Amino acid sequence: MSSAMTGNGINDAAPTLAGPREWAALAVLVLPVILISVDSTVLGFAVPELSEQLRPTSGQLLWIVDVYGFILAGLLVTMGSLGDRIGRRRLLMIGSTAFGTASLLAAFSPTAEVLILARGLLGLAGASLMPSTLSLLRNIFLDPRQRLLAIALWASGFSGGAALGPILGGWLLEHFFWGSVFLINLPVMALILVLVPLLVRESRNPEPGRMDPLSVVLSMAAMLPAVYGVKQLATGGPAVVPLLSLVAGLVLGYLFVRRQTRIDDPLIDVHLFRYRVFSVAVATNLLIVFSLVSSLFFLTQYLQLVLDVSPMRAGFVLVPGLLLSILAGLVAVRLSRRLSLASVVGGSLLVTATGFAVLVFTPQSGVAAGVAFVAVGFALIAAGAGYAETLTNGAIMSAAPPHRAGAASAISETAYELGAALGVAVLGSVLTASYRAGLTEVEGVSPGAVDTARETLGGAANTAADLGGAQGAALMEAARSAFTDGMHLTSAIAVVIVLYAAVQAWVLLRGRGNPAVEPPASESSPDSGETPSVKAAPAQATPERMEQAGG
């Protein structure tokens, strides 16, 4: 192994290359990623059937879809920091057990309220899975190029799970009850509990410091009131309680960030955000997922309830885009060796924006034309996202020293999950508000029936089926038109959001090279959990050295 003498007189050994055990460990660590991705896409396809069985209100339906993401996002930072302290492998095992238990509750929920509770518990358990997997990768793959490939394969688990979810979910929904989409979590959890102890070595921060309980409370307390305020304002219009809730969330968020700068052992190392590549990569991840997940929310309903496509066929419509996302992530690894981060990320986001522009023109009727627009639009969205996220995640993890891998991965995953949750909350609420505004009255249909149909598109389908005849057909036609118009508006807003992210990435990342494969400082010895990192490790995390290395 070659070594070089640093200016401080410290020998920096070249990073150890990963062997067969490390790559086998990667395969195991991808399993929780696939599971969570399957869970997200499967639920979207189950929305029509659970809407019929549980009859949730529009607000309850949004909570069923996104309470998982809100709880998860609110606790990711805490769980990442906890994994640094108690051991990332141990936290992964605990979370897997809890995730399986919560899945059972979700599968047999008798009411919408119980399902919301179960989804919240899934978010609590899921918060321990995501930062554990990514932070373990950071300490398993020490060579930057191998790490980028590992992260690309890890990220492909999201796309692979999303591709598997519609097919598996469609088959389950056509043969079993809607709760079966949660029962598929159990065998995967069992596999994780068996294989992780055999293949994955424990990893933790040898000098973690103490956990700050007030920071934990503030990180969670800032999330829920802010999101509740956004959801209520979008669906119900201006009101005192939602405005106060939003303000309270923002104030608590400010207090959380302020506290992190003043305590000795913060949950988030806010100094990492002084490194431009790190902060831009985090923001880009949030904006990409914000738009991507919202598209899955409305496209699954459009295919099934507007075009009347079966769940399994609807899943196959989205599969090409999700497979392209996997391929794009792997191609991004090769492109990163020739092009700058600004070029790849900026260009990728332009592809995603083009995909949303295609969805602006989806037709209200005509199965063949509607399916073609969705397939092409989503393929562009997913391919662009796959390119961008591989490199932004690689840059985020390369910016952090090994002993802070849990905290850095938690920030990355918080941006991902917060983007997913806000995508459904904000753009989903915009779609809901537009749908309700567009479905005001239908000739020959009673106002009461129209009011019921305005809650959700699934509710409109149920009401139309109850009415039957010409009345039911007229109501469903009006509901489909209102939903399609709302989808066009939502897609146009997503175009603007993604274009902003592209401009931001291009302007702020120019001249920064590609930190995903060019680490900001020399790699130190691995954080094995038994001995502290070499003295050079804390220095490599400082913003000044990062900025110098970034160009």
In the 3-class helix/strand/coil scheme, how is 292-303 assigned residue by residue?
HHHHHHHHHHHH
The winner for highest mean pLDDT among 120-124, 276-280, 416-420 is 120-124
pTM of the model: 0.68
pLDDT band at 6 (very low <50, low <70, confident <90, very high): very low
Give the residue, 179 or 244, on which the prediction is more confident.
244
* Rounded mean pLDDT, 543-549: 35
DSSP 248-311: HHHHHHHHHHHHHTTSSS-SS-GGGGGSHHHHHHHHHHHHHHHHHHHHHHHHHHIIIIIS---H
- For 524-540, what is the mean pLDDT? 35
How high is the pLDDT of residue 206?
67
Of 108-117, 271-280, 334-343, the range with the lowest mean pLDDT is 334-343
Confidence (pLDDT) at 358 = 94
Amino acid at 61: L
Average pLDDT over residues 157-177: 72
pLDDT of residue 413: 67
Asked if pLDDT for residue 58 goes beyond 80, the answer is no
Question: For the CA atoms of 67, 68, 69, 70, what is the dihedral angle to 10 degrees?
Answer: 40
Per the CB < 8 A criterion, the answer to whether 400 and 80 are in contact is no
pLDDT score for 528: 36
Q: CB neighbours (10 Å) of residue 544? A: 10
Give which of 470, 370, 176, 410 is closest to 285, Cα–Cα.
410
Assess whether pLDDT exceeds 80 at residue 7.
Answer: no
R_g (Cα) of the chain, nearest Å:
23
- Per cent of the chain over pLDDT 90 is 5
Answer yes or no: is pLDDT of 59 > 90: no
Given this model, what pLDDT does residue 547 score?
Answer: 36
Section 299-325 average pLDDT: 81
Distance CA 257, CA 13 (A): 36
At residue 295's C-alpha, the angle toward residues 112 and 137, to 5°, is 90
Q: What's the rounded Cα separation, in Å, for the pair 157 and 416?
A: 14
- In the predicted structure, residue 118 carries a pLDDT above the cut 60: yes
pLDDT classification of 62: cutoffs 50, 70, 90 = confident
Region of residue 439 (phi > 0: left; psi between -120 and 50: alpha; otherwise: beta): beta
- Average pLDDT of the chain? 75
Whether the predicted pLDDT of 402 surpasses 70: no
Average pLDDT over residues 166-191: 80
Structure confidence at residue 209 as a pLDDT band (50, 70, 90): low
Does 354 have pLDDT greater than 90? yes
Give the mean pLDDT of 275-288: 81
Residue 73's pLDDT band (boundaries 50, 70, 90)?
Answer: low
pLDDT band at 512 (very low <50, low <70, confident <90, very high): low
- C-alpha closest to that of 112 among 58, 45, 55: 55
Integer Cα distance of 165 and 168 in angstroms: 5
In the predicted model, is pLDDT for residue 285 greater than 70? yes
Q: How large a percentage of the chain has pLDDT more than 70?
A: 79
Contact in structure between 391 and 341 (CB atoms under 8 Å): yes
Q: Where are the domains of the chain?
A: 19-211+265-517+525-550, 212-264
Domain 19-211+265-517+525-550 in CATH: superfamily? MFS general substrate transporter like domains (1.20.1250.20)
pLDDT of residue 32: 83
User: Nearest CA to 105 among 42, 200, 20, 179?
Assistant: 179
Supply the pLDDT for residue 505.
83
Q: In the numeric block, which tokens belong to residue 469?
A: 């005849």
465 or 144, greater pLDDT: 465
- Is pLDDT at 320 greater than 80 in this prediction? yes
SS3 for 390?
Answer: helix
Mean pLDDT of 294-299: 79
Query: Residue for token digits 């088959």?
Result: 171
Sequence-ordered list of residues with C-beta below 8 angstroms from that of 480, at least 6 positions apart, any chain = 305, 306, 364, 365, 457
pLDDT average, residue stretch 351-368: 90
Q: Is the per-residue pLDDT at 359 higher than 90?
A: yes
For the residues 65-88, what does the mean pLDDT come to?
75
CA of residue 39 relative to chain centroid, distance: 12
CA nearest 491: which of 352, 379, 366, 283? 352
* pLDDT at residue 362 greater than cutoff 50: yes
Q: Which of 32-46, 181-195, 388-402, 448-462 has the highest mean pLDDT?
A: 181-195
pLDDT (0 to 100) of residue 427: 81
What confidence score (pLDDT) does residue 405 get? Answer: 56
* 443 residue type, one letter: E
Which range has highest mean pLDDT (170-184, 395-409, 413-427, 485-499)? 485-499
